[in-house]
Structure 1
Amino acid sequence: MTKNNEQIITVDGQYQPNVVEFNQGEVANLTFKRVSDRGCLGAVQSHDLAFSADLPLNEAVTFEIPTDQSGEFEFACGMDMVKGKIVIK
């Protein structure tokens, strides 16, 4: 789901969607909303983009994503088992 350069990821045992795209040079916000306590998805992290946070159940957590360089950047659960990707084009 896209809303004003914001991508929303539903966390429900997996990331839905697990790939999001942003345009290079534009302000970009990525919001995670955990709706289930299934799996190891109580936290999210990205070593590539230097963010990390707990994901409280039924609360939105938003990160501003740097778009100064194009490429593909991974994010994952706290245990690095469930993964997703941010594509900046």
Structure 2
Amino acid sequence: MTPDRWMVTALGLALVAFIVWFFWMKRAKGTRAALTSGGYQEAMILVKGGYTPDVVVVEHGKPVRLNFRREETAACSEMVLLPDFNKSTRLPTGETVPVEFLPDQPGEYEFACQMGMLRGKLIVE
């Protein structure tokens, strides 16, 4: 094999390794929810082509309030579902909608739109 073929092969393998890391192995640190004076762990989540932030970190045993603000009109983002907490709510465009619950067990819990296209994660420590 010539040196230029070695270089192209090495660059291709490096690109494949980067793609695998970026899409499947990269771990988002998440945004820690702020503790309010009312005792809630609170985070604001913007809904626009996805959830921002899409990973929220909270402590177990303290009430959580996730404030969703939808800034788009796509049908997929009309609802948010938190199946592990038996919560679902409609998200009207341009309004902030709070979702309150009490996570009593540590773990990772997903939230998503009703079609499962928009996804987020709640990490309970």
**TM superposition score normalised by structure 2:** 0.65
Once residues 92 and 76 of structure 2 are traced to their aligned partners in structure 1, the CA distance between those partners, rounded to angstroms, is 12
Higher percent of residues as helix: 2
Q: TM-score normalized by structure 1?
A: 0.89
Looking at CA atoms only, which structure, 1 or 2, has the larger radius of gyration? 2
Identity across matched positions, percent: 37
1:10-89 equivalences under 5 Å are: 10-38=46-74, 40-89=76-125
Query: 5+ residue gaps in structure 1?
Result: none
If asked which structure has higher relative contact order (CA below 8 Å, sep 6+), I would say 1
Query: For the aligned residues, what is the CA RMSD?
Result: 1.6
The aligned amino acid for 2:80 is V
2:115 maps to amino acid: M
**Number of equivalences:** 89
Structure 2 CA distance for aligned equivalents of residues 76 and 54 of structure 1: 12
* Runs of 4+ residues over 4 Å off in structure 1: none
Q: Which runs of 5+ in 2 are unaligned?
A: 1-30
Paired residue secondary structure (2:94): coil
